[in-house]
Amino acid sequence: MKPYIEERAVEAAKFIINSNATVRETAKKFGISKSTVHKDVTERLEKINPKLAMEARQILELNKAERHLRGGLATKEKYSGTSK
């Protein structure tokens, strides 16, 4: 694996952990696709730093479990006229 990919995977995981960021937020921050973020954090990071990978994966799982709630709130705001 190329060094810049390893570094990107570690930095993305640290960003997710420190800010409880979603895959989408992380992708936007690093200028990469959501699938690249997911692959970096779930597959590549496992080989580089398993402990960091586990921490990041826990945050991603929590975000995944809560995403239907966020979607409902976004829809509510959109149609209530009190959007941000």
For residue 41, the model assigns a pLDDT of 93
For residue 77, the model assigns a pLDDT of 84
What one-character DSSP code corresponds to residue 81?
T
pTM confidence score: 0.79
Ranges under pLDDT 50 in the chain: none
For residue 27, the model assigns a pLDDT of 97
For residue 45, the model assigns a pLDDT of 95
Rounded to an integer, what distance in angstroms lies between the CA atom of residue 11 and that of residue 40? Answer: 10
Rounded to an integer, what distance in angstroms lies between the CA atom of residue 27 and that of residue 15? Answer: 11
Rounded to an integer, what distance in angstroms lies between the CA atom of residue 44 and that of residue 83? Answer: 38
**Domain ranges, ordered by start, for the chain:** 3-80
DSSP annotation string for 24-42: HHHHHHHT--HHHHHHIII
